[in-house]
Chain A
Amino acid sequence: MQNETVHITPYRTHAWVLITLLTFTFITITVTWIDLSALTVFIALIIASVKAYIVLTYFMHLKFESSLFRVFVFMVLAIYVLVILFTLSDYLFR
């Protein structure tokens, strides 16, 4: 525990992250006005994934932690994706 280093993120980075997240939120709302039919959910998920990536990387400091934490997060996301895929094996083929 004594060897841990503490990384301090500059305010400027936080500000850029905030602006990026707000921009993506604006895009999320904007695309609801466009009829994308089957692509609607797909686009919404892409935007949400990008936002989650930014939050994990900067706000949750994943960028500055040891690779073990990145492995854990990757593993959790992989399980999540597989759960969705297996659930779709029901919904897409009913």
Chain B
Amino acid sequence: MTEEKTHHPEPSFLVDTGKYKGLMAWLTTTDHKRIGLMYMYAMMVFFTVGVTLGMLMRLELFYPGQQFYGPQVYNGIFTIHGIIMIFTVVIPGLAAVFGNFSMPIMIGAKDVAFPRLNLFSFYLYILGAAIALASQFMGNGPPDTGWTFYAPYSIHTHTNVVAAVFGAFVLGFSSILTGLNFIVTMHRLRAPGMTFFKMPLFPWSLYATAWIQVLATPIVGITLLMIIAERWLRIGFFDPSLGGDPILYQHLFWIYSHPAVYIMILPAMGVITEIIPTFTQKKIFGYKAIAISSLAIALVGYFVWAHHMYTSGMSTTARWVFSLLTFLVAVPSAIKVFNWVATMYKGSISVKPPFLFALGFIFLFMIGGMTGLSLGALATNIHVHDTAYVVAHFHYIVFGGVGFAFFAAVYYWYPKMFGRMYNFKMANWSFVFLFTGFNLLYFPQFIIGIMGMPRRYFDYLPQFTLGQQLSFFGGVLLVTGFIIMLITLFSKKGAKAPDNPWGGRTYEWTIPSPPPQENFDVMPEMGLDEQPYDYK
């Protein structure tokens, strides 16, 4: 796929050539690459806000008892930390940024199928995020329900739940439209000769993700509207005092929100699947198994939602059915991990920053995945439900998995995005700080969780002090690593990046860095004998 190198007279996508210049040119763009970058900048802002809130929690938890603020403020902080991180960072995350930037190029297209809809999705994202953030400052104070908005408390609390819920509802629309756009793009705009089983695996993961976005997100949209209707009209969907069923809320919420975990993690797996063959210079092991396992995760992941509800009072039958299904979803996830490791075996490994982060992903995702199985088992779940153990498991998947894959993707595609290299030494240091800080922050939470530390508690017993303090210091290291990464990428210009700095074989490495406005001068065509990841 890399043989045909063309020199493009067309200017790079970073150059303004249209009607508008500067900021207006960016705000009105329909170029998938610019929209991808706009998502990235927005997410960096939201991520910084989310991390700051996270550190405020860690600071308060440094000693038992009240230190800086009271329990109501603590409830507001963990709620908005969750809303920002889940709905504006990790759910759109890799799909919105790198799906937009890289996917159309990787399948040999000039843009996504509906470029204007793509820009509209971005503005819905900004609008939804703004409403969710504004909920902190409007009405009767920040919502205090947690990001899950569990009924009946979310019906009765006097805090500003409606704005936060409506923000999440709008964000859902952005997600659905992006998913729809990606499905049509991959069906209709693949390069001639690129059949589905010749498509690179990052687009494959986005394809599976897009189906979850389209099919699952409307359910949470309706559910969130039901919360608003219940608050305003007292209908009685979920509130027992009105004849409703609070467990119904949990079913409806998790029917979306568990597949949402796969909306987050599938593109992350796709990124790792791109990075490993590139930095081992070896054909991916088990191409079809990885492609189909993405679909299998999307499908089976749809039916495991009630493992969040073992202690809710639902029937015993449902509990064992969902426990069984939860164990099934581990199979396609494990297929991917085995294939990544098999790809590395006897490969010509080059340990560059993206590869380091990919290794970090595998390590952290494995811990997150294995602890997920212990949570999926009925007997152990009863003991660790709603403890810090769940906090640790969840962050190992969402931050250790999605976050590290996001950082890997930034380091991988940065030269293509900006046409500049970065300082590898600094990038490696950022990995050291992020990886060490992450484990120091979250691993103690497993231990104090097993010891009985409840999650979402403002205060704790003295025996949990050491674990909480280690977590604080881990958080400091993590933030340091994040700052080093930002300095590495954005402080000063590196050397000019070649078109293909890593020796990759997918289409984005055949075009200049940064890419020209319409990606390809001559539209690529895939020969009968060509395969993705054709290294040897």
Contact = CB atoms under 8 A, between A and B. Distances in A.
B383 interface: no
Contact of A89 (B215, B255, B321): B321
A76 interface: yes
A16 interface: no
B302 A83 contact: yes
Contact of B315 (A1, A82, A89): A89
Interface in A45-94: 76, 79, 82-83, 86-87, 89-94
Max chain B Cβ within 10 angstroms of own Cβ: one of A82, A89, A90: A90
B215 A90 contact: no
A43 B247 CA distance: 26
B316 A93 contact: yes
A12 B352 CA distance: 67
A90 B317 CA distance: 7
Contacts of A89: 315, 317-318, 321-322
B262 to A, nearest CB: 14
Q: Does more than half of chain A's interface fall in helix, strand or loop, or is it mixed?
A: helix
Contact of A93 (B188, B299, B303, B318): B318
Contacts of B255: 83, 87
A92 B255 CA distance: 18
Interface residues of B, number: 17
Interface string B299-332: 1001100100000001111100110010000000
A13 B473 CA distance: 71
Contacts of A83: 255, 302-303
A90 B315 contact: yes
Given A83-B303, A86-B322, A93 B215 contact: no
Nearest to B320: A89
Contacts of B315: 89-94
A87 B325 CA distance: 13
Contacts of B321: 86, 89
Main SS of the interface on chain B? helix
A79 B302 contact: yes
Contacts of B188: 1
Contacts of A91: 315
A86 B247 contact: no
Given A89-B317, A89-B318, A93-B315, A82 B215 contact: no
Interface residues of A, number: 13
Contacts of B251: 87, 90
Contacts of B247: 90
A91 B316 CA distance: 10
B322 A93 contact: no
Nearest to B318: A90
Interface in B430-478: none
Contacts of A92: 315, 317
A21 B325 CA distance: 39
A83 B301 CA distance: 12
Contacts of B317: 89-90, 92-93
A88 to B, nearest CB: 9
Interface string A11-35: 0000000000000000000000000
B218 to A, nearest CB: 11
Contact of A86 (B215, B303, B316): B303
Contacts of A93: 315-318
Contacts of B303: 82-83, 86
Nearest to A82: B303
A86 B314 contact: no
A83 to B, nearest CB: 6
Interface string B210-237: 0000010000000000000000000000
A92 B316 CA distance: 11
A90 B314 contact: yes
A68 B463 CA distance: 60
B249 to A, nearest CB: 12
A89 B302 CA distance: 15
Contacts of B318: 86, 89-90, 93
Contacts of A82: 302-303
A90 B306 contact: yes
Contact of B215 (A79, A87, A94): A79
13 contacts: A1-B188, A79-B215, A86-B306, A86-B318, A86-B322, A87-B251, A87-B255, A89-B317, A89-B318, A89-B322, A90-B306, A93-B315, A93-B318
Interface of A: 1, 76, 79, 82-83, 86-87, 89-94
Interface of B: 188, 215, 247, 251, 255, 299, 302-303, 306, 314-318, 321-322, 325
Top 4 A-B residue pairs of the complex, sorted by shortest distance between their CB atoms:
A90-B318, A93-B317, A93-B315, A90-B314
Given A86-B318, A86-B322, A89-B321, 6 more contacts: A76-B215, A83-B302, A86-B303, A87-B255, A89-B317, A89-B322
